[in-house]
Chains A and B, each alone.
Chain A
Amino acid sequence: MFENIQAKNCNPERSADCEGNFYGPLESSIGPGMNGRIQRLRKLSFDAEPTISIERALHETAFYKENYGKYSIPVLRAMTFLDHCEKKTLYLGKDELIVGERGPKPKAIPTFPELTCHTVEDFHVLNTRDMQRYITTQEDIDIYDREVIPYWRGKTQRERIFNHVPEEWRVAYEAGLFTEFMEQRAPGHTALDGKIYTKGMLDFKREIEKNIATLDYLNDPEATDKAEQWKAMAISCDAVIVFAERHADLAEEMAAEESDPLRCDELKKIAQVCRYVPANAPRTLWEAIQMYWFVHLGTITELNGWDAMNPGHFDQHLAPFYEREITDGSLTRDEAKELISCFWIKVNNHPAPPKVGITARESGTYNDFTNINLGGVLRDGSDGTNEVSYIMLEVIEELHILQPGNSVHISSKTPDRFLHASAHVIRQGHGYPSVFNPDTYILEMVRQGKTLEDAREGGCSGCIEVGAFGKEAYLLTGYLNVPKILEVTLNNGIDPVGGKQVGVTTGDPRNFNSYDELYTAFLLQLNYIIAQKMRVSNYIDRMFAKYAPAPFLSVVIDDCIVNGKDYYDGGPRYNTSYIQCCGLGTVTDSLAALKKHVFDEHTFSMDSVLQAVSKNFVDEEFMRQTIMNKTPFFGNDDDYADDIAVCIYDDLVEAIDGKPNIKEGGKYHLNMLSTTCHVYFGKVMGASPNGRLAGKSISDGTSPSHGADIHGPSSVVKSLTKIDHVKSGGTLLNQRFMPSLLKRDEDIKKLGQLIRSYFALGGHHIQFNIVDTATLLAAQQCPDDYKDLLVRMAGYSDYFNDMNNDLQQEVIERTENEGF
């Protein structure tokens, strides 16, 4: 639900997880990009206002009205998809080389009423809210009200889910103890391997037909289900071929009318490419990119899956085409870069469909977290970095657009040259690329049961969660508010904000005689809440397998074809459900404060701390400051706090890891991702014992609490690597950096060495927020949250907070001047 709430708190940092167009209008009239074409396409994408297109909903509703009940559900889904691909309005823009849009124009977003149906009020909210608007015309709203809404009433996935959840789940959900991903979007969340560069849709159809020929109705009780599933998959292959052919027709028509001979040739070339892919395996770089793009569009049109689709190791996939064409002279480096830039802009044209209900009001623009993996290792374990990796880094730096997200994958085999090229892009301060450690995440996946080769071929999609690309359904099920579980523990099972019983009764903490008693109570609550979360997640998974299968996605994920099973129904080779646990820093620091001040040193009584927390530390500044300044907090390489973090982490692993989901062989695993949910989770909480005030964000990912890490990045790295990252499916470390620490080339090199150090110790992911002026201004307003800001100049070192106002002003001015 509230995965992307924008809150007005004093935490204005940008990260790749952030939403919205954070790049303001540029000084030049057009903006960056390698040439005029790319500049114009970028500007168009950048300037386009998100709109709602009701076309898909109309086609789908009409098709369902006419055909529901005539076919099996998988076949109905595939035919609905084919029908839309045959009819949908096409877009082929001026300057484009890579073609295809999900809607009728850039940033025109369809709705998915079968999952969750927007109300008239939702559309009005989206038209008028303060955050990024999604515009719908009144005429379209009226049509939607007449044609779409009445049909889907009571039949959406969202209604099916909410009509069946138990009361225990509902109160915990409403208290903000966890979120549920699948109440607005479908499970999605996957990335592709290299299969679509060696096989076309016609090849997949042949495979499907071969399987159909082996159907054994005499002995296989699932034969009928498989037959329907295969039929549906074959129809969905046709759907994308039709979609491409229609683009070829359109390009030819446009070429016939084009007066500019250059553009005329381009249009003819586009037509040739669209006639060939996705029906056949691509032969050139251009075809390879267009192939991926059609597959991408297919999966995000068929359904609205979470973190929709991701090409995975795109640089590795494109490298053979690039190298061949460069060698035979049919392609130049600049032409390759131009095609890749065109692709980049295409992804940026596709924000995610907006939410409904309260989330429509509170959540900003949402993107699909397409995360392109650069570098990494190949299936045989050797280094995967190639020239295309460098070209993509250049594209990222030049275009700086919101989507696609990107990450660099630095294994012990990755050359320093690539690490340094990446660090230079990080230095620009846009919050990306984020940096991943294949040496650790390969172990994570092998531990989860993947083969070594499948694990090497995997990587991260979305934010920081890992999976075996092209072979796995790894679904994020929702975020878990771990600090809130402690809050409930401290109130004997009651949510102090809403006043309801949401946990189990574990006793009044004033009667606890030891820290161990407190921790045991916390663990009881934790396991109870996780069980609530899992039982509903399992139920929802079945609902999707039954009512909203994804035949086209199933075509491109092994082994759905072989198994004759849908992506949502255990068809893939691997099936993982992740629960994303938030706020490790906040809960660790809170427990450290209670352990030290209540149980170890008796500075304060439990009663006085609970009272101070319940009144948000009003008139308790002495206590709050003592706790904040005289407690060992997570992120300082201090075992007192770090041991607590390790203990909590291990208990989260124990509670989640290896529990079966409802798919054959599928399991739950731990994830430590927060995206921006830590903001929402903070809002539903009162103050916490670490001195955090009510309503303020909890800590993100596995990062230390804001401002708790006061010994610099090396200590953060040390603390973070005391937890065993291999036991999760992803941890997240956001590290703030002052620009003064990245001034010289040598400093940028040292940033690379810091990354190498973190990874040598087993870290999973690190991302850098280069502090900007806005952050420093915020630090002046809320110094407690920014104790970690180190100011370094040659021969001088101080904390920003420790400087007097004049000098802070000077640092702000310097930061401004050193801007990029």
Chain B
Amino acid sequence: MQSGLIFDVKRYAINDGPGIRATVFLKGCPLQCKWCHNPESLSANVQKMYSKSKCIGCLSCVDVCPEDACTMTVDGIVTDTSLCTLCGKCAEICPTKATEMSGRIVTVDEIVKIIDKERIFFDQSGGGVTFSGGEPLMQSEFLIAVLAECGVRGIHRTVDTTGFAPTKRLLEVAKHTDHFLYDVKVMDSERHKRWTSIGNEKILHNLRVLSEIGASINIRLPLINNVNDDLENIEQTALFVAGLAGRKKRINILPYHNIAAGKYQKLGEVFDAGIMAEPGDDDLAKVVRTFAGFGLEAMIGG
């Protein structure tokens, strides 16, 4: 039985495709976007997360750790990563979920069963399941197996992807996918690399190919002031999208929120917003207008 590593299942998801959906978050991502909202999605391994504000200082994790990797300090529990084997005993005993393990292995059957529980909402709303991440295509064999099983059950399937994957693999996934959410972040490859750690050639190429085969796609633009909100980038994005084959693509603009710092803390990391800033209503309206100038329908959110 195929299995995969996921870090969350979000029910009543209303921003991840048509209707009411269940969104499965797969762990691991080839990109390292500086604005990432889900830092626990980046690593393809199980990770330990710790939240000091929830810790009641009971020291049960210190007692239970077989490697003596946990120590209580003025900053709460500190884990010595050189000793920690990620066995998860600390998270198991922690009474408040101050310590939690992000990432759990599930089989195809297990995840399909969870998805199937939400069927009534899919049926009533024209919704379905969305696979997000991380980058779901990093676990493409597992992903395809789950998609195929959902297909057999008549569940609408959406894949939310960065588009960074071998073209052949993407096309294989597309055979089992009803709808894509596809990110276009920055048009200039150098700038793209600076902000996400990789160039965008593959991503743009894959989007062209996917359009040519007639896939249903919503393009998503995470809009971050001082990163990709300049007129030049927006115009280039619009030009590129307008030139894609097939049906006119809808653009969803996802305004950046400086709100995920807490999650970074839990991973023992620091979120540096740097020059990244939230777009205001005026900025958003301007971008929508620019897209409209290219005959493209852009909407905020979703």
Among B96, B124, B257, B259, the residue within 8 A (CB) of A757 is B124
Query: Do A794 and B11 have beta carbons less than 8 Å apart?
Result: no
Given known contacts A741-B14, A760-B124, is B56 in contact with A753 (CB within 8 Å)? Answer: no
A807 → B minimal CB distance (Å): 5
Closest to A795 in B: B254
Which residues of B248-275 are within 8 A (CB) of A? 252, 254-255, 257, 259-263, 265
B301 adjacent to A794 (CB under 8 Å): yes
Report the minimum CB–CB distance from A737 to chain B (whole Å).
10
Which B48-93 residues sit within 8 Å CB-CB of chain A?
A: 51, 53, 56, 58, 60
Give the residues from 596 to 634 in chain A that come closer than 8 angstroms, CB to CB, to chain B.
Answer: 621-626, 629-630
Q: Which of A623, A717, A804 contacts B262 (CB 8 A)?
A: A804
Interface centre among A630, A714, A718, A798 (most CB of B within 10 A): A714
A119 to chain B, nearest CB (A): 50
> A217 on the interface (CB 8 Å rule)?
no
Choose the segment among A6-14, A422-430, A742-750 that binds chain B (4+ C-beta atoms closer than 8 Å): A742-750
Taken together as a complex, chains A and B put the C-alpha atoms of A364 and B11 apart, in Å, by 39
Q: Does A796 make an interface contact (CB < 8 A)? A: yes
Q: Which of B96, B120, B300 contacts A625 (CB under 8 A)?
A: B96
- With A753-B124, A804-B261 given, is the CB distance from A792 to B14 under 8 Å? yes
8 Å CB contacts to A: which residues of B176-196? none
Asked if B118 is an interface residue, CB under 8 A from chain A, the answer is yes
The smallest C-beta distance from B183 to any residue of chain A, in angstroms, reads: 10
Known: A793-B257, A795-B37, A795-B222. Contact between A714 and B12, CB under 8 A?
A: yes
Contact assessment for B263 and A750 in the assembled complex, using a CB-CB cutoff below 8 Å: no
Q: Which residues of B contact A805 (CB under 8 A)?
A: 53
Answer whether residue A48 sits at the interface, using C-beta atoms and an 8 A cutoff.
Answer: no
Q: Given A796-B260, A802-B51: A714 and B11 within 8 A (CB)?
A: yes
A803 adjacent to B262 (CB under 8 Å): yes
Q: Measured between alpha carbons, how far is A751 from B38 in the docked complex, in Å? A: 26
Min C-beta distance of B133 to chain A, whole Å? 12
> Is A810 in contact with chain B by the CB < 8 A criterion?
yes
In the bound complex, what is the Cα–Cα distance between A715 and B10 (angstroms)?
11
Contact of B10 among A637, A797, A810 (CB under 8 A): A797
- Asked if A798 contacts B124 (CB within 8 A), the reply is no
Q: How far is the CA of A802 from the CA of B261 in the complex (A)?
A: 11
How many chain A residues touch B (CB < 8 A): the figure is 43
Complex contact A761–B120 (CB within 8 A): yes
Residues of A within 8 A of B222 (CB): 795
Q: Is A796 a contact partner of B259 (Cβ separation < 8 A)? A: yes
Q: Considering the complex, which residues of chain B in the window 1-35 have a beta carbon less than 8 Å from any beta carbon of chain A?
A: 8, 10-15, 19-20, 22
Contacts of A761 in B (CB 8 A): 120
Majority DSSP secondary structure for residues of A touching B: helix
Contact indicator A621/B56 (Cβ below 8 Å): yes
Contact of B14 with A718 in the complex, beta carbons under 8 Å: no
> A754 at the A/B interface (Cβ < 8 Å)?
yes
Q: Which residues of A contact B12 (CB under 8 A)?
A: 712-714, 741, 754, 790
**Which residues of A lie under 8 Å from residue B226 when comparing CB positions?**
none
Residue A622 contacts which of B11, B95, B261 (CB distance < 8 angstroms)?
B95
Query: Are the C-beta atoms of B263 and A630 separated by less than 8 Å?
Result: no
Which residues does chain A contribute within 8 Å of B104, judged by CB atoms? Answer: none
Asked if residues B95 and A626 are in contact (CB atoms below 8 Å), the reply is: yes
| Minimum Cβ distance to chain A for residue B122 (Å) | 9
Cβ of B10: which chain A residues have Cβ within 8 Å of it? Answer: 712, 797
Considering the complex, give the chain B residue whose CB is closest to the CB of A759. Answer: B124
Report how far A754 CA is from B14 CA in the complex, Å: 11
Interface string of B110-142 (1 = CB under 8 A from A): 000000011011011101000000000000000
Assess whether A804 is in contact with B19, with CB atoms less than 8 Å apart.
no
Q: Which of A393-421 contact B (CB under 8 A)?
A: none
Minimum CB–CB distance from B121 to chain A (whole Å) comes to 5
Contact indicator B301/A757 (Cβ below 8 Å): no
A330 to B120, CA, bound (A): 47
Given contacts A795-B254, A798-B263, A802-B262, contact A757 B125 (CB under 8 A): yes
| B102 → A minimal CB distance (Å) | 12
Interface status of B208 (Cβ within 8 A of chain A): no
A708 vs B60: C-alpha distance in the bound complex, in angstroms?
Answer: 24
- B95 to chain A minimum Cβ distance, whole angstroms, is 4
Query: Does B259 contact A793, Cβ atoms closer than 8 Å?
Result: yes
19 contacts between A and B (CB under 8 A): A621-B95, A712-B12, A713-B12, A714-B121, A715-B11, A718-B120, A744-B302, A746-B14, A753-B124, A754-B124, A757-B121, A792-B14, A795-B254, A796-B259, A796-B260, A798-B262, A807-B259, A807-B262, A810-B259
Chain B residues engaging chain A, CB cutoff 8 angstroms? 8, 10-15, 19-20, 22, 37-38, 51, 53, 56, 58, 60, 95-97, 117-118, 120-121, 123-125, 127, 222, 252, 254-255, 257, 259-263, 265, 300-302
- A637-B117, A714-B11, A753-B19 are known contacts; what are 11 more A-B pairs with Cβ within 8 Å? A625-B95, A712-B12, A714-B20, A714-B118, A750-B20, A756-B124, A760-B120, A796-B260, A797-B10, A802-B262, A807-B262
